[in-house]
Amino acid sequence: MATKTYLKTYTNVELAKQNLLSRKRISLLDYKLPKDMQNKNKEIFKKNLSPYQLVSKIIADVSKNGDQSIKDYCNILDGSILDSLIVTEAEFDQAFKKVNQSDIDAIKFMATRIKNYHEIQLKHGDRDFFQNGFGIKVVPIDTVGVYMTGSMTALPSSIIHTATPAAVAGVNSIYGITPTDSSGTVNPYKLIAARFAGIEKVYKASGAQAIAAFTFGTESIPQVDKIAGPGNIFVAMAKQQVNGIVGIDALYGPTETLVIADESADPEICTADILHAAEHDALAIPILVTNSKDLAKSVTKLIQDKLKIFERSDVIELSLKNGGIVITETIDEAVDLSNIFAPEHLCISTNNAESLIPKIKNAGGIFVGEGTPEVIGDYTGGISHVMPTGGSARFSSPLTIYDFQKIISIANIHEQDLAKLGPYASQIAKMEGLDAHANSIDVRLEKIHE
């Protein structure tokens, strides 16, 4: 009986570019749900609503009816009964009692590491300056809302990685909002993470209704200036639709990891990196690019041998179908392919791995050498694990303190400066047919020369 191969191997690079490394632009406007979810929505809303239309309806309803719409949608869509949308201090206290001290200490250690990293980042960040009459003032955003993703699952790392840079940047008020279980209870690990991350208050709501609540404010939930944090497809759609009314960090898609490896790489480590990348969810994309056919064969065999030992092997198996192994002639060619794909995570397992760093143009994060697992970045390394996906690493960055600061331009010039700059500005205004613009300068120049 033939052994099942979970990860497809491409020996033709052009074929790999077309079928594995090409970025198919997915419009959230046209996104279609699986059939079972479409049928469920039709049953609930008595009409065929596309996901985008459903999100628009939820946003409009929350904007109009506030708390009641949030409670209704959380009940209809999640089966959650929410008597109150506010997490109380008693619930925080109970969370710390439920979780063992060792786990609390681990979350606190992670929070401290991430805070320290971003404090160093702050020292090297933008600074106020004023020179020759012009400059900038750097100020933090006033209020930020953090979407605390996950309902049944707990992702304390995501909460800390999202909220901590906001806290270090100096944001005045940071609020969290989180899905709950059916009884309206928040996973205790999330509340512990929120407390260590500097989140002031936590509220209960999921999906599009949570994003709408932070956008417009309700009787219980405050309106914020910017919303941050990853979530499911409904969260992404909602963030896209409210962008401009409120600030958003980014639109996040399925996670992705690309490993560049040569003949010196340890097959077990490469396999571990591929399997961990695939464990996130069924839409994750794990890719190995190597110039070694022997390594490719070894990794394929090890995946076959090890897959079933993991608790989430069913998820890993589905995810592996999205990925593949690409065999190149050289490592430089592998780097070129990586830059085309622009992965969220790039792991380098080669001889003299550091020498490849200058060649990397597009990646959310680079994990250099076999001693640096990507997972360390997910948890206790310090760098943000909230990174650009879907090829957006070509033009965007991981979440940092800069996402929670803004720059205000300042102009404060003396008469002699206006006498020098003004005539040219007035001349250009007249070129553009804007006489009133020119006049605003000219009246000042006349007063200078009186």
Instruction: Judge whether residue 2 has pLDDT over 60.
Output: no
Structure-model confidence comparison of residues 91 and 2, the more confident one: 91
Share of the chain above pLDDT 70, in %: 98
Share of the chain above pLDDT 90, in %: 85
* Predicted local distance difference test score (pLDDT) of residue 45: 83
From 118, 276, 345, 385, the catalytic residue: 345
pLDDT tens digits, residue range 205-243? 999 999 999 999 999 999 999 999 999 889 999 999 999
Nearest CA-CA partner of 188 in 156, 162, 228, 161: 156
* Predicted local distance difference test score (pLDDT) of residue 24: 74
Instruction: Judge whether residue 151 has pLDDT over 80.
Output: no
Instruction: Judge whether residue 8 has pLDDT over 70.
Output: yes
Domain spans, the chain: 9-18+254-386, 89-248, 414-449
Please, are residues 341 and 258 in contact by the beta-carbon 8 Å criterion? Answer: yes
* Predicted local distance difference test score (pLDDT) of residue 25: 67
Active-site annotation holds for 200: no
Instruction: Please give the order of strands across the beta sheet that includes 129-131.
Output: 129-131, 134-140, 405-411
Structure token pair of residue 322: 């999205």
Instruction: Judge whether residue 341 has pLDDT over 60.
Output: yes
From 256, 279, 344, 374, the catalytic residue: 344
Confidence of residue 48 (pLDDT cuts 50, 70, 90): confident
- pTM more than 0.85: yes
Give the 3-state DSSP-derived string for the chain, with helices as H, strands as E and coil as C.
Answer: CCCCCCCCEECCHHHHHHHHHCCCCCCHHHCCCCHHHHHHHHHHHCCCCCHHHHHHHHHHHHHHHCHHHHHHHHHHHHCCCCCCCECCHHHHHHHHHHCCHHHHHHHHHHHHHHHHHHHHHHHCCCCCEEECCEEEEEEECCEEEEECCCCCCCCHHHHHHHHHHHHHHCCCEEEEEECCCCCCCCCHHHHHHHHHHCCCEEEECCHHHHHHHHHHCCCCCCCCCEEECCCCHHHHHHHHHHECCEEECCCCCCCEEEEEECCCCCHHHHHHHHHHHHCCCCCCEEEEEECCHHHHHHHHHHHHHHHHHCCCHHHHHHHHCCCEEEECCCHHHHHHHHHHHCCCEEEEECCCHHHHHHHCCCCCEEEECCCCCHHHHHCCCCCCCCCCCCCHHHCCCCCCHHHHEEEEEEECCCHHHHHHHHHHHHHHHHHCCCHHHHHHHHHHHHHHHC
Instruction: Judge whether residue 438 has pLDDT over 80.
Output: yes
Residues 6+ away with beta carbon under 8 Å from 278: 284, 286, 315, 316, 319, 320, 323
Structure-model confidence comparison of residues 449 and 271, the more confident one: 271
pLDDT tens digits, residue range 27-44? 788 888 778 878 888 888
Structure-model confidence comparison of residues 424 and 43, the more confident one: 424
DSSP strand pairing (143-147 vs 201-204): unpaired
Mean pLDDT of 164-189: 96
| Single-letter residue type at 302 | L
Structure token pair of residue 134: 């012009």
CATH number given to 9-18+254-386: 3.40.50.1980
Sign of CA dihedral 401, 406, 408, 409: positive
* Predicted local distance difference test score (pLDDT) of residue 331: 98
Structure-model confidence comparison of residues 125 and 345, the more confident one: 345
Active-site annotation holds for 345: yes
Residue appearing with tokens 């003032």:
137
**Whole-number CA gyration radius for the chain:** 26
Mean pLDDT of 357-362: 98
Residue range 89-248 in CATH 3.40.50.1980: yes
pLDDT tens digits, residue range 288-336? 999 999 999 999 999 999 999 999 999 999 999 999 999 999 999 999 9
Mean pLDDT of the chain: 94
Structure-model confidence comparison of residues 155 and 356, the more confident one: 356
Residues 6+ away with beta carbon under 8 Å from 66: 213, 218, 219, 220
Alpha carbon separation from 121 to 21, 117, 196 (Å, rounded):
32, 6, 19
Structure-model confidence comparison of residues 152 and 114, the more confident one: 114
Structure-model confidence comparison of residues 68 and 39, the more confident one: 68
Instruction: Judge whether residue 81 has pLDDT over 90.
Output: yes
Give the separation between CA 19 and CA 311, rounded to whole angstroms.
29
Please, are residues 317 and 274 in contact by the beta-carbon 8 Å criterion? Answer: no
Instruction: Judge whether residue 1 has pLDDT over 50.
Output: no
* Predicted local distance difference test score (pLDDT) of residue 159: 97
| Same fold across 9-18+254-386 and 89-248 | yes
- Number of neighbours of residue 415 by Cβ within 10 angstroms: 13
Mean pLDDT of 45-64: 92
Mean pLDDT of 403-417: 94
First to last CA, the chain: 99
Give the separation between CA 193 and CA 188, rounded to whole angstroms.
9
Give the separation between CA 135 and CA 354, rounded to whole angstroms.
38
Mean pLDDT of 122-136: 87
How many residues are there in the chain?
Answer: 450
